[in-house]
Structure 1
Amino acid sequence: MTDAADLTARLIRCPSVTPEEGGALVMLADLLSAAGFEVRRVDRGDTPNLFARWGARGARTFGFNGHTDVVPPGDLGSWTHPPFSGHVEGGVIWGRGATDMKSGVAAFVAAAIDFVTATPPAGAVILTITGDEEGPSRDGTRALLDWMAAQGERMDVCIVGEPSNPSEMGEMIKIGRRGSATFRIAARGVQGHAAYPNRARNPLHALTRLLDGLISAPLDQGTEHFEPSGLQITSIDCGNPASNIIPETASAVVNIRFNDLHDGESLSRDLERRARAISDETGVTLTIEVDLSGEAFLTEPGPFVDLVRRIVEQETGRRPELSTSGGTSDARFIKDHCPVVEFGLVGRYMHQVDERVPEDQVNQLKAIYQRILEEYFA
């Protein structure tokens, strides 16, 4: 039997702060190779990635996805136990990545190894593990999927092992995610004396009019599986140190988390239309740069979602909510490859000082993953 809790502690001892590999993928590659998996490093640029497959190509294939990179630990003196010690005490594993998400990786790696060893399936199991989820996410799971397409590798379904439960195991399965787009708005007017506004064009007036229009009414009322879209102004700046000068330039940043009523293109068109109207009226030039982190997506409830939900309920005693809440994850890339859901541990301590996870939770997650594999291939 592969001990998922022990593997979690060993992975935590690998200091894999993005983009450093820290030895985590090397450890997993050795473990999976010894269990009969075909293992390949699929690094792109400076980003480390790992692909592992057990079983023949072209067979029915179940996939898992996760990441071994972690966010920086912050002030080391604030930690009860050193963040990369993998300290185990009282049935709790301490360290950076204990929740997000070395435990999730350990659970699906252990489940996959024990499953193919005990009951070799008439199919294949694929594991895709990246070292670039907490960073830019350009050369991580994206690179793995690009490489898989070039090699003719394919998953039929996939579970991302991100922490999905708010406070108790079995509360929530993520079957989709909102999209995320950041708009950087620059306004250029004409500088002048505050006492003579007729000789200037104030970029702040134009910019705040645009922003006021964006927040004056909700984008929508939500859909069957999604909450209402949310828009937040996260920055306004003009760099003006004087109270009697109308500045020449100003800028703002707006982040929109949007549901499946919108996409990045439609939101961009709407914002450009509003900006043009205000520019034409005020003479202030408004330009917009868009950073689309991911589109909204939904894995429709059906046999795959039902299987995961049923086993989670049987193993935890809770019927999980099918949710699309939260931020983004690498599921936003996998959804273009195959149906994908997210189910993992309780996310209470992720990214916090003294990040930690109970050993029994990790072992329970492994048992859930192994049951899912057994019934999927039954």
Structure 2
Amino acid sequence: MRTLTHHELLKKLVEINSVYPNEEEISNFCIDLLKDLNFDIDVVDIGNGRKNILAKRGKGDTAILFYGHLDTVGVVNSEEWNTDPFKLTQKGNNYYGLGVSDMKSGISSFLTALKNFPGYIKILLSVDEENISEGAWTVLEKKPEFFKDVNLIIASEPTMNVGELEGEFLK
């Protein structure tokens, strides 16, 4: 597979229906992509082809871990969609499509940014986050050694609520 731009990768990710619990196709796509980027791959399957992906590349004493989840919520209020949820649509500076903000753009961003990164990096792409996070919990239970040399975790989910948190106003 040739190296994809952020836009090209995001387009491919949005086109893959990964509505919980349908993560098998997107898992396989990401495994192939990570192999093309010279990552070593391990998989923790929670059943029915629902694969958590643990990837690493580089050497060092400590690693940076990038985290993302592969599933999306279902298409709700489909009559209110002005575009096809499984087709990336750009209007001005905004992109539309199921999972764009939660969390396919985050995954696309770090995968394209890390393609030539020389450091020691790890990636965890989990399944089932939109349900009970069974994927992440299973990885923590079955592969705790994957995290032993991690000193920083970056979760690239760009969604957040603005409001109060323990008396502090978030902006």
The normalised TM-score by structure 2 is 0.83
Match of 2:101 in 1: 99
Q: 2:139 aligns with which of 128, 144, 148?
A: 144
- 8 A contact 1:14–1:22 mirrored in 2: no
For 1:227, the equivalent position in structure 2 comes to 166
CA RMSD of aligned residues (A): 2.8
User: Is the 1:8–1:106 Cα contact (8 Å) retained in structure 2?
Assistant: yes
Match of 1:87 in 2: 89
Q: Equivalent residue of 2:29, what SS?
A: helix
* Aligned partner of 1:19 among 15, 18, 21: 21
2:51 paired residue number? 48
Deviation digits for residues 157-215 of structure 1, max 9, x if unmatched? 10111225668xxxxxxxxxxxxxxxxxxxxxxxxxxxxxxxxxxxxxxxxxxxxxxxx
Structure 2 equivalent of residue 161 of structure 1? 156
SS of aligned partner of 1:42: strand
- Aligned partner of 1:24: which letter? I
Instruction: Tell me the alpha carbon deviations over residues 4-46 of structure 1, each in whole angstroms, 9 at most, x when there is no partner.
Output: 2221121011110111115222222111111110112211234
Equivalence map 1:209-220=2 (5 Å):
none
Corresponding residue for residue 61 of structure 1: 63
Q: In the alignment, is the contact (CA less than 8 A) between 2:61 and 2:149 conserved in 1? A: no
Which runs of 5 or more structure 1 residues have no equivalent in the other structure?
168-221, 229-320, 326-378
| TM-score, structure 1 as length reference | 0.40
Question: What is the match of residue 5 of structure 1?
Answer: 7
CA distance in 1, matches of 2:147, 2:79: 48
For residues 6 and 88 of structure 1, the distance between their equivalents in structure 2, rounded to whole angstroms, comes to 12
Paired residue type of 2:122? I
Closer, same or farther in 2 for the Cα pair 1:151/1:90, shift >3 Å? closer
Aligned to 2:31: 29
Aligned residues: 167
In structure 2, give the amino acid aligned to 1:161.
Answer: S
What code does the residue aligned with 1:48 have? Answer: K
1:49 positional shift = 1.0
Superposition deviation, residue 147 in structure 1: 3.2
SS in structure 1 at match of 2:110 = helix
Partners of 2:146 and 2:130 in 1: how far apart? 26
Over the matched positions of the two proteins, sequence identity in percent amounts to 29
Instruction: Decide whether aligned partners of structure 1 residues 147 and 112 sit closer, same or farther in structure 2, where only a CA change above 3 A counts.
Output: farther
Q: Kindly indicate whether the alpha-carbon contact (under 8 Å) linking 2:31 and 2:53 is maintained by their aligned counterparts in 1.
A: yes
Cα deviation, 1:98-150, whole Å, max 9, x if unaligned, reads: 111110111111112132xxxx23xx10000112111111x211222233325
Which of 108, 126, 143 lines up with 2:122 in the alignment? 126
Residue correspondence of structure 1 range 221-300 to structure 2 within 5 A: 226-227=165-166
Decide whether the 8 Å contact of 1:40 with 1:51 is kept in 2: yes
1:322 deviates by 9.7
Return closer, same or farther for 1:4/1:135 CA change in 2, 3 Å cut-off. same
Extract structure 1 runs of 4+ deviating beyond 3 A: 88-92, 150-154, 164-167
Which ranges of structure 2 fall in alignment gaps of 5 or more residues? none
